[in-house]
Structure 1
Amino acid sequence: MNQEKIKAFETMISRDYPDIAGIVVQKNGNKLYENYFNGYIADHAIHVYSVTKSIVSGLIGIALDKGQIKSVDQKVLDFFPDYAVQAGEKTIQNVTIKNLLTMTAPYKYQLEPYAAFFASENWIKAALDLLGGEEQIGEFKYSPIIGAHILSGILVKATGQPIIEFATKNLFSPLGINGMHNVVLRSEEEQMAFYTKEKHTNGWVVDPQGINTASWGLTLTPVDMAKIGQLYLNGGLWEGKQILSKQWIDISTQEHIKWNSLSYGYLWWIIDDKEQSYAALGDGGNVIYVNTKKKMVISIASLLIPDAKDRIELILKMIEPIFAD
């Protein structure tokens, strides 16, 4: 590696990316680079926002591997038999797990009603109440918060245990991601503090019923993020143990739907078919990037700022050229 290029790269990060907290670069399973910025160190966990969605996608896969979920084609309402469907509402009855994973479920709104959702006493019920409507199933409609939270409810129903316990036993602990605990946000002020709080310990936000959030709310270190990426690059194998089936990883990280020029899998963004690269992307510039062809994993943890610069562009134009060879 060219140390002068790395030094110039770090100078550029400090100058042009003031929100980046940490970067880890791995190739062929070997760590080539790890560095921290803005006063962060390796032990500091970051709220990774929508990267949480991709982690939950993996948990759905593990539940499928265990037979706790039969198929992604199962209807969402199969898991909520007590939910009362509104009179005349038919669309919701045909929405499947796959629709939630691919963001092809319809909703009864144009813009997500965040405030009303978070103010509700039961987030799962509130999300189900907003599912369906007049739009067609199968068209891409990105749901930042509400849609994926239904997957949280499905995981709890399917596994019979809290998500954090299921995730710790079947994913986090095997990868050496430790110290995870529930985070309770009792007010809008606490929620905003969580968004902006720095250097907090590992945790995962829960809703009023104690169900971990699926769209946001998970905190990870850059090394934790890189471990998730490496697990996917390894085809689900970790230290000789199959944590997640390769079949699930392959189907999760292939294109299922297009949105303009962007491709989407099962809560993963598809970056380049030729490179077989894909990414978990979170607000503010949080990224788990996997390039199967180059055998690379890159994780970037970032603080939330408005209009954060494109991290995929940073990876493709700066980071990969330095470390790929």
Structure 2
Amino acid sequence: MNKEQLHRYIYESAGNESNICQIYVIKDNEVALDDCWRGFKTEDAMNVNSVTKSIMGLLAGIALDKGYIKNLDQKVMDFFPDYTVKRGEKTIYDVTIKHLLTMTAPYKGKSEPWKKVCTSPDFTLAILDSLGGRNGITGEFRYATLGIQILAGVIERAYGGKCINFANENLFKPLGLPERIPHGDSSKEDQFDFFMNKNPRKYEWYTDPQGCVTAGWGLCMSAKDMAVIGELVLDDGVHGGKRIISEEYLKDMLTPQIKLGERFGFMNYGYLWYKTYDEKDVYAAIGDSGNIIYVNKAENVSVGMTGTFKPRIFDRVEFIEKKVLPAINL
């Protein structure tokens, strides 16, 4: 399948590929593919859902490099001295930044309190109420979209400013990518539209009423944005001859911390990034609806892909390896 055949295949798809908006591929530091569907253009953005988490993983590393965070074993509560801990809660004092990055932070309750958090005036303080619990630190993997909100709060408290400004100054602008703007509204109807609307979005990031970004979802990027960020990972933290993030942190970020189960395709998990195979240096930032940053070190290739809302599409790794990479290698 060549590039033209790939375009037609996606254009005509009525199945899993029917929601793909953009694919952007950088191989050997050259653009190898730039294609769009569903009325999207290269410069359009889409809510990339949980790919947002992986960007937060990079921002945590930059904050660490710059000394805003002392180390990853620093306690989360160090950053929230004004937060009133619930009576009887002790575990919360033991939770570290590393627990957030590896999804091993403990939370009360069996499900995430979406209604409580997303209707509150401060998403970060609202989810802090759920952090901890009677079981203590168990090391158990618990995928928590709302829990990562705490990481945005940590960065803001450490940096002394808004997380979106930190991201613009230390990641997007140095990479030559458009600055993100706060989305603003956080009504129930607006949140629903943010997930479901299939039209291109601005270069924005969803925010709570305090102007703090949603750390687990809501960052809008183009496939080009994601491929460029993937290339940064591929090039060990250097872009255009300038270091953006330390090689040491990236190595730690990509090193498997936990082996995941069937729900996550038996992949490995680092610091908010996936290692897709045990034996290959292939890494990914994965969001719902098939949004993905795919990084393959052996092939020296980075792939960004966006998709409109479509349930039950977790990742595109197999599609990239069976359809996209062969097309660019012809």
* TM-score (structure 2 length as normaliser): 0.94
1:10 to partner: Cα distance: 2.1
Partner of 1:205: 206
Deviations 1:177-224 (A, max 9, x none): 114211112411111112233112111111121111111111011111
Q: Aligned equivalents of 2:329 and 2:92: distance in 1?
A: 46
4+ residue runs over 4 A deviation:
none
Consecutive unaligned residues in structure 1, runs of 5 or more: none
2:328 equivalent to 1:323: yes
Counterpart pick for 2:293 among 288, 297, 307: 288
How many residues are paired up?
321
2:257 equivalent to 1:256: yes
1:24 to partner: Cα distance: 0.9
Alignment of 1:1-325 (within 5 A): 5-14=2-11, 15=13, 16=15, 17-137=17-137, 138-144=139-145, 146-197=146-197, 198-260=199-261, 261-308=266-313, 310-324=315-329
Q: Aligned equivalents of 2:278 and 2:102: distance in 1?
A: 17
Q: Aligned equivalents of 1:299 and 1:135: distance in 2?
A: 39
Q: Is the 8 A contact 1:296 1:324 kept in 2?
A: no
- Give the residue type in structure 2 aligned to 1:52: T
Q: Aligned equivalents of 2:231 and 2:131: distance in 1?
A: 34
Q: Aligned equivalents of 1:295 and 1:19: distance in 2?
A: 27
SS in 1 for 2:2: helix
Deviations 1:52-79 (A, max 9, x none): 1111111111111111100000000010
Q: Aligned equivalents of 1:289 and 1:302: distance in 2?
A: 14
Q: Aligned equivalents of 2:120 and 2:200: distance in 1?
A: 29
Deviations 1:250-293 (A, max 9, x none): 11111011221221110001112432111001111100000111
Deviations 1:85-141 (A, max 9, x none): 222211111010000000001110111121121112221111110001123421101
SS in 1 for 2:276: strand
Q: Aligned equivalents of 1:236 and 1:68: distance in 2?
A: 18
Consecutive unaligned residues in structure 2, runs of 5 or more: none
Q: Aligned equivalents of 1:30 and 1:159: distance in 2?
A: 35
Q: Provide the aligned C-alpha RMSD in A.
A: 1.4
Q: Aligned equivalents of 2:320 and 2:135: distance in 1?
A: 36
- Given the superposition, is the C-alpha separation of residues 309 and 13 from structure 1 closer, same or farther in structure 2, using an over 3 Å criterion? farther
- Provide the identity percentage: 42
Q: Aligned equivalents of 1:208 and 1:71: distance in 2?
A: 29
Q: Aligned equivalents of 2:309 and 2:26: distance in 1?
A: 24
1:323 to partner: Cα distance: 3.0
Deviations 1:125-181 (A, max 9, x none): 11110001123421101002x110000000000111111111111111111111421
Q: Aligned equivalents of 2:247 and 2:314: distance in 1?
A: 32
Q: Aligned equivalents of 1:246 and 1:129: distance in 2?
A: 35
Q: Aligned equivalents of 2:291 and 2:88: distance in 1?
A: 41
